[in-house]
Structure formats: structure tokens, C-alpha cells
């Protein structure tokens, strides 16, 4: 290159390519296939995701000129870095042990603690004092999920500040007072609706000496674990926050007193880019809601976000895959700019977390901070055509749903009317249906199971059914938290328990004919039946149906699956149908639709294919084999 061209803009040598030209090229490569059906997809939130985004997609977006630590805080509330607090939860059943554990993990990279008390544990002031022993409250964030004991925590802090001469303006932490949780999941307010908000006001006033201490919680995580999609989580969480302000200003507080005391706890799921965009959208939405109440300055409109992994998509079988899920989810939350984060231990859904599982969980985000330097760059997603477009669409859709709740009178009234439940339950049913039909894949559970894995002991039965906290005095319909894979896990666990005293059912692959098709269909069928915990036996191939059936009989097979090509099913299928009629459970892998009626006429009605309802069909096989009634 000559000297006079050294500083020439490289892109001047290339003509710009229009969107239309790109689409023409894509349609050519698709060879006539429907462009929109093949490459566009609709997210559970109703957002149509395009195969590519360009600068023109940003033309109508208003927040692009926002800077970090600047209203509406889409780019975060920190100006020079993306640092966050590494939080670990500690379940308190023995205060001395809990304190010892806290001191230990503070030496291992944690700088935020959360002490979680069960609803049945009535904590005393002395318990809280013991928990805080040797913990320097002005250098470590300490949070408490303590139910009705929130006021006790604040009283202890007031005494400890004086006793140890701590700087109250440096103390960060929270108590998790959340009347909406009771209403949503237990079906009634604690004591009464009037009491709930009067008590919320009292907590704010009691904590006045701790300016950075949060006293009110908005918990979107639990909504996600009940099946809510991202838009619903945003809109309903926003509604709770707005209702706090509305109800507590009626108690004589100002928006400046209330908004800085609210901590949002949001869930993080598997849709990587959507979750990055969600946190950015959440900050925009909250900043604008608070600003509408006329705060003294825009600092009061900052949203404080704690995030953690949802349990909705975590599994009991092949549980180590949960580590991969939590890693990608954590990555998206941290890129999205959460203020603190808790990684869910991989085994937390079915047993008490172990020292190993907690260490892995803790180190996941420490690796992202110390070795990947995610904390160094403010809002890494800024300017991305895709992420900025998703952020804007989430803002618009969440705001639309928020306004519907507002028209009903706010979150509490929307719950009483059943609106929130209807919306979330519809989303939850869709998640379950998608899993049953394998439109959504849960590795190790509804697809690609570990054939050799089996439980030989009874696990916590509560881990395999929805978490129902409905009070006997409930006045509204409640939501139930669950995991999408629970029905599949119960299916497989039932087989495991049956196999302790009985022969484990065997699905035998009768592979014959076209090599590629029989191998592909045998692999599909093996995965299909292994999901229910059945033993599976693949084979190299047989020359005749009779030979294959003889081998199946010798193997003591309970199910025989014919694996071949559609063309060959015209003859092989009929032979198979006649040979298995009234003698064994015969199944065809595939869906040769022009042969279905003829198969049925010959007594063969069982077919497995990609459009099968996996869950319902496997239950039917279990019933036929006598595993379930």
C-alpha cells in the first residue's frame, strides 16, 4: 500500500450492502424454502427474533445516547466498571455453625452474604448478634431472609453500629420484607393488607440511620420459577415496585424515602441475549416509573438488582449439566450489569448443597471476574444491534403489560382478580408442553439421557413435584413454583424404583435395511425410551424380521422397535406388524403417513417420531408394562 493511502478508511473500498441484498442472498441459499419460517423464531415473550440485525434496527430507539451512571441507567449505575458483589446464601438452622461458615467463605472470595431462616425459625435478637460476630458490616454486604424478624435485624444493627463505632453510611445489606410473596404464593397477606404496608413504612423509618440498607423486596425470581416469561417477570415486578411507592406515600413517606429502599431480586434463565437485555430494560423501566413520582434527583431512580439462577430449567438427572446452565446464565446476568449475584449450586433442587457444589457455584462467578475480567467493562452489550433491539422490545412489551396491571388497580388487585395467575399459568403450561414435545430440549432429561444413570435410593419427593405453599386460609388462587423437567424425572424415577425389585424394561432395536436410516432411527428410539429409564439395546442390523424378533426374544425384550426407512416400511412394516401382533409391544420408529392406516389394520398402532408427545407416550408404555396403574 502506498504511503498516501495509509490512513484511508478501509470501508471506503467496499460498497455498502443493503438489507434487501442480504435477504436475496439468504433466500438463494435456502433454495426456495420459506425465509421467515426457517430463520425467524418467536420467543416465549412474543418477540420475533430475526436472523440478523443492522444499524437501521436502531433508528427508533431513544436510549442509545445514554451513558453509564446516567438516567435512565440502561448502561448501568456504575461509571467506570462493571463490578458486582459475589453473594453466597447460608441456611440458618444453627447460628454458631452459620457464623463459622460465613467467616470461612468470606476468605474465599465472597463479599456478600445472605442468611436464610426457614419460616418456622423464630429468630431472636441474640441469634442475629451471634450471626454477625466478627463480621465487619461496613465492609461486607449482609442480607437477611428472616420473615417476620426484619425489625429485629435493624435493631441489632443500631446497637452494633454504636458498640463497634461503624460508619452507618458505609453499611450495605437488606432484609427481605416482601408482602407480595405471601399474597402470590400463599394466597393472603401476612396478618392483613393494611398491616403489611404499615409495617413496610415502619421498616423504612427504622432503618433511616442506614442510608444504603434495603428493607423492601420485589422478587421476580419466584415468578420465573412459577413459569413466568421475561416480559411477565419485568411487568409484574415493576407493578410491585410501583405499588410500594403508591401505598407508602399514602403512609406519609416520600418517593425519595421509598425507592432507594427497594431491592429487586430477578431470575436469570437460559436465553443468553434475552437475559442481558432484560436487566438493561429493567433499569429503564424502573427509572421512568420512579421519575414519574417526582423524586428530588435522578439518583433516586436507580434500580438495585440482585440476580440468581432460576431453578425452572434445572434437572435432577444428569445434574452436573446444571453447572453449564448456571455458567451461561451467570455470564448473561453479569454482562447485563447486575449489582450482586448468587449462583445456584448444581444439586440444590434435590438435596442439601454440599461443600463441593457450593465451592463450584462460588468459583463460577469468581472465574468470570478474576480470569475473564467481566467486571472491567461497563455495559459490554452497548451498541449491539441485537441486544439494543431486544432491550427496546422488552421495554415496550413489559410496559404494555404493566399498564394492564395498572388499569386493574395495581399488582395486589390484579392478583385478586386472577389476572397475574392467568398470565403466568398460561406461560407455564406452554413451557411444559414444549418440553413434552421436545420443542425445548433439557439435556440429560427429555433428550440425550445418560443411559447408565439410575437412582437406587429414594430422593426427596418434594423435588419431583411443584412447590405449593398455599395457606389453608388463602383468599386468592396461588401460583406454584416448579421445574419444567419434574414430570420427566418422576417418570424415570418411577422406573428406577420399579427396577429395584423387578426386571428393568428393555427396548430392543430391530435395525434392518437402509444403513443410514436404521442407524439414525435406532439412535432416536434409544434416546426416546431411555428418557423413561428403560434399558435400550441397539444392534448392527438384521437380514430379516424373523431374525431380529428371534434376537429380541433371546434378549428378553419388552419392546421391539423397527428401525428402517419409510420406503422399506411398505413391506417390512407389514411383516413386523403381523409378527408382533398379540405377542409383544411392537413399535415403528418414524412416521410413514401413507402407511399409518394399513399398519393399524394389521394391529400395529405404535409409532415414535419427532412430533410425539414424549411424556404422554412414555407414560402409556409404563402403564402397559405394569410400572404404573
pLDDT at 582 over 80: yes
C-beta of residue 509 within 8 angstroms of C-beta of residue 527: no
Indicate if 238 and 312 belong to the same structural domain.
Answer: yes
Q: Rounded to an integer, what distance in angstroms lies between the CA atom of residue 330 and that of residue 322?
A: 12
Residue 28 lies in a domain: no
Query: How many CB atoms neighbour CB 506 within 10 A?
Result: 17
Q: What is the mean pLDDT of residues 263-282?
A: 98
pLDDT tens digit string along 374-404? 999 999 999 999 999 999 999 999 999 999 9
Cβ atoms 238, 285 nearer than 8 A: yes
| pLDDT exceeds 80 at position 124 | yes
Number of domains within the chain: 2
Q: How many CB atoms lie within 10 A of CB 547?
A: 13
Task: Clarify whether residues 467 and 346 are in a common domain.
Answer: no
Domain boundary among 382, 407, 432: 407
Residue ranges making up the domain that contains 525: 443-629
User: Would you say residue 226 lies in a domain?
Assistant: yes
Backbone angles phi and psi of 307, in degrees to 5:
-125, 155
* pLDDT tens, residue by residue, 28-61: 999 989 999 999 999 999 999 999 999 999 999 9
C-alpha cell at 500: 429395584
Average pLDDT over residues 187-201: 95
Tens of pLDDT, residues 280-318: 999 999 999 999 999 999 999 999 999 999 999 999 999
Average pLDDT over residues 196-211: 97
Tell me: the pLDDT tens digits for 225-242?
A: 999 999 999 999 999 999
Collapsed DSSP state (helix, strand, coil) of residue 419? helix
Same domain, residue pair 385 and 474: no
Q: Which of 407, 435, 461 is the last residue of a domain?
A: 407
In this structure, is residue 574 part of a structural domain?
Answer: yes
Same domain? For 448 and 390 the reply is: no
* Percent of the chain at pLDDT exceeding 90: 91
Residue 508 lies in a domain: yes
Domain boundary among 407, 428, 462: 407
Tell me if 491 is assigned to some domain: yes
Same domain flag for 490 and 550: yes
Q: What is d(CA 545, CA 525) in angstroms, rounded to the nearest whole number?
A: 18
119 and 262: one domain?
Answer: yes
Q: Would you tell me how many other CB atoms lie within 10 Å of the CB of residue 313?
A: 21
Percent of the chain predicted with pLDDT > 70? 98
- Strand extents, DSSP E, 407-565: 506-511, 535-537, 559-563
Q: What is the pLDDT of residues 69-100, one digit of tens each?
A: 999 999 999 999 999 999 999 999 999 999 99
Q: Which three cell numbers stand for residue 12?
A: 471506503
- Distance between CA atoms of 335 and 347, rounded to whole angstroms? 25
Distance CA 254, CA 40 (A): 46
Quick one: pLDDT at residue 625? 97
CA 187, 192, 197, 202 dihedral sign is: negative
Over residues 340-354, mean pLDDT: 95
Long-range contacts made by residues 460-468, C-beta under 8 angstroms, separation at least 24? 460/350, 460/351, 463/316, 463/349, 463/350, 463/351, 464/316, 464/489, 464/490, 464/493, 465/490
The separation between CA 554 and the C-alpha centre of its own chain, rounded to angstroms, equals: 46
pLDDT tens digits, one per residue of 503-527: 999 999 999 999 999 999 999 999 9
pLDDT for 4 beyond 70: no
Find the range with the poorest average confidence among 11-20, 553-562, 565-574, 589-598. 11-20
Dihedral of the alpha carbons of 55, 58, 60, 66, in degrees to the nearest 10: -130
**528 & 610 share domain:** yes
pLDDT attached to residue 1: 40
pLDDT value of position 8: 63
Cβ partners under 8 Å of residue 383, min gap 6: 64
pLDDT over 50 at 2, yes or no = no
Predicted local distance difference test score (pLDDT) of residue 426 = 98
Res 455 pLDDT > 70: yes
> With 90 as the cut, is the pLDDT of residue 14 above it?
no
- The stretch 359-364 carries a mean pLDDT of 98
* The pTM of the whole model exceeds 0.85: yes
* Strand 41-42 versus strand 48-49 pairing type: antiparallel
**C-beta atoms surrounding 72 within 10 Å:** 22
Check residue 495 and give its pLDDT.
97
Average pLDDT, the chain: 95
Query: What is the average pLDDT across 183-204?
Result: 96
- Is residue 447 located within the same domain as residue 502? yes
Q: Does residue 378 sit in the same domain as residue 449?
A: no
Q: What is the pLDDT of residue 163?
A: 86
Model pLDDT, residue 502: 97
**CATH number of the CATH domain containing 536:** 3.40.50.280
Q: Per residue in 618-628, pLDDT tens? A: 999 999 999 99
pLDDT, tens digit (0-9, with 9 covering 90-100), for 405-425: 999 999 999 999 999 999 999
- Residue 29 and residue 54 in contact, taking contact as beta carbons nearer than 8 Å: no
**Strand pairing partners for 216?**
177, 262
Question: Do the Cβ atoms of 182 and 192 come closer than 8 Å?
Answer: no
Q: Is residue 3 part of a domain?
A: no
**Does 265 share its domain with 373?**
yes
C-alpha span between 505 and 533 (Å, rounded): 8
In what helix (H) or strand (E) does residue 268 lie, and over which residues does it extend?
strand 262-268
pLDDT grade, residue 216 (50/70/90)?
very high
What gap in Å lies between CA 395 and CA 404, rounded to an integer? Answer: 14
Same domain flag for 365 and 226: yes
138 versus 102: which is more confidently predicted?
102
Does residue 417 belong to any structural domain of this protein?
no
Q: What is the pLDDT of residues 127-182, one digit of tens each?
A: 999 999 999 988 999 999 998 899 999 999 999 888 888 899 999 999 999 999 99
Choice among 1-5, 42-46, 310-314, 490-494 with the minimum mean pLDDT: 1-5
Q: Is residue 184 part of a domain?
A: yes
Cell numbers that stand for 629 in this block? 396403574
Beta strands in 43-192 (DSSP E): 48-49, 85-92, 112-117, 141-145, 173-177
Q: Do 211 and 302 belong together in one domain? A: yes
Q: What are phi and psi of 356, to 5 degrees?
A: -65, -50
Amino acid at each position: 500500500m502506498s504511503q498516501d493511502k495509509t490512513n484511508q478508511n478501509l470501508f471506503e473500498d467496499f460498497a455498502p450492502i443493503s438489507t434487501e441484498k442480504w435477504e436475496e442472498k439468504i433466500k438463494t441459499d435456502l433454495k426456495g424454502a420459506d425465509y421467515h419460517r426457517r430463520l425467524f423464531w418467536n420467543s416465549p415473550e412474543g418477540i420475533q427474533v430475526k436472523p440478523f440485525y443492522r444499524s437501521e434496527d436502531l433508528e427508533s430507539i431513544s436510549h442509545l445516547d445514554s451513558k453509564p451512571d446516567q438516567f435512565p441507567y440502561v448502561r448501568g449505575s456504575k461509571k467506570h466498571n462493571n463490578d458486582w458483589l459475589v453473594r453466597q446464601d447460608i441456611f440458618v438452622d444453627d447460628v454458631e455453625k452459620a457464623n463459622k461458615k460465613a467467616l470461612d467463605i468470606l476468605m474465599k472470595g465472597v463479599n456478600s452474604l445472605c442468611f436464610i431462616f426457614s419460616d418456622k425459625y423464630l429468630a431472636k435478637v441474640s441469634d442475629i448478634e451471634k450471626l454477625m460476630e466478627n463480621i465487619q458490616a461496613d465492609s461486607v454486604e449482609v442480607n437477611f431472609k428472616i420473615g417476620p424478624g426484619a425489625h429485629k435485624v435493624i435493631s441489632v444493627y443500631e446497637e452494633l453500629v454504636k458498640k463497634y463505632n461503624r460508619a452507618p453510611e458505609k453499611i450495605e445489606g437488606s432484609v427481605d420484607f416482601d408482602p407480595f410473596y405471601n399474597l402470590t404464593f400463599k394466597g393472603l397477606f401476612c396478618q392483613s393488607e393494611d398491616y403489611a404496608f404499615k409495617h413496610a413504612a415502619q421498616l423504612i423509618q427504622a432503618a433511616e440511620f442506614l442510608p444504603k440498607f434495603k428493607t423492601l423486596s420485589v422478587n421476580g425470581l419466584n415468578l420465573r420459577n412459577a413459569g413466568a416469561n421475561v416480559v411477565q417477570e419485568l411487568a409484574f415486578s415493576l407493578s410491585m415496585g410501583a405499588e410500594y411507592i403508591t401505598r407508602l406515600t399514602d403512609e406519609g413517606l416520600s418517593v425519595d424515602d421509598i425507592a432507594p429502599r427497594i431491592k429487586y431480586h430477578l431470575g436469570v434463565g437460559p436465553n443468553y441475549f434475552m437475559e442481558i437485555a432484560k436487566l438493561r430494560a429493567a433499569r429503564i423501566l424502573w427509572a421512568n416509573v420512579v421519575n414519574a413520582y417526582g423524586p428530588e434527583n435522578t439518583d433516586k431512580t436507580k434500580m438495585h438488582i440482585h440476580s440468581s439462577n432460576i431453578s425452572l430449567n434445572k434437572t435432577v438427572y444428569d445434574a452436573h449439566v446444571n453447572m453449564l446452565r448456571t455458567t451461561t446464565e451467570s455470564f448473561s446476568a453479569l454482562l447485563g450489569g447486575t449489582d450482586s449475584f448468587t449462583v445456584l449450586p448444581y444439586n440444590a433442587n434435590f438435596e442439601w448443597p454440599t461443600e463441593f457444589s457450593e465451592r463450584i457455584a462460588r468459583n463460577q462467578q469468581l472465574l468470570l471476574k478474576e480470569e475473564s475480567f467481566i467486571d472491567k467493562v461497563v455495559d459490554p452489550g452497548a451498541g449491539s444491534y441485537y441486544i439494543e433491539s431486544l432491550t427496546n422490545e422488552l421495554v415496550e412489551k413489559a410496559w404494555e403489560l404493566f399498564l394492564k396491571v395498572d388499569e386493574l388497580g395495581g399488582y395486589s388487585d390484579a392478583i385478586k382478580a386472577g389476572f397475574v395467575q392467568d398470565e403466568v399459568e398460561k406461560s407455564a403450561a406452554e413451557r411444559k408442553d414444549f418440553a413434552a414435545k421436545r420443542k425445548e430440549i433439557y439435556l440429560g432429561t427429555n433428550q440425550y439421557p445418560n443411559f447408565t444413570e439410575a437412582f437406587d435410593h429414594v430422593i426427596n419427593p418434594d423435588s419431583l413435584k411443584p412447590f405449593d405453599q398455599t395457606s389453608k386460609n388463602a383468599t386468592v388462587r396461588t401460583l406454584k413454583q416448579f421445574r419444567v423437567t419434574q414430570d420427566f424425572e418422576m417418570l424415570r424415577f418411577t422406573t428406577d424404583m420399579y427396577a429395584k425389585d423387578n426386571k428393568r424394561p428393555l427396548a430392543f432395536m430391530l435395525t434392518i435395511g437402509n444403513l443410514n436410516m436404521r442407524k439414525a432411527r435406532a439412535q432416536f428410539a434409544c434416546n426416546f425410551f431411555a428418557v423413561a429409564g428403560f434399558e435400550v439395546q441397539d444392534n448392527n442390523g438384521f437380514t430379516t424380521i424373523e431374525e431380529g424378533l428371534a434376537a429380541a426374544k433371546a434378549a428378553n425384550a419388552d419392546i421391539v422397535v423397527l428401525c428402517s426407512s419409510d420406503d422399506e416400511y411398505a413391506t417390512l412394516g407389514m411383516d413386523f406388524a403381523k409378527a408382533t401382533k398379540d405377542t409383544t409391544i411392537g413399535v415403528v420408529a418414524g412416521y410413514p403417513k401413507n402407511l399409518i392406516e394399513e399398519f393399524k389394520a394389521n394391529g400395529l398402532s405404535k409409532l415414535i417420531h419427532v412430533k410425539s408427545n414424549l411424556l404422554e407416550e412414555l407414560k402409556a408404555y409404563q402403564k402397559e408394562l405394569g410400572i404404573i396403574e
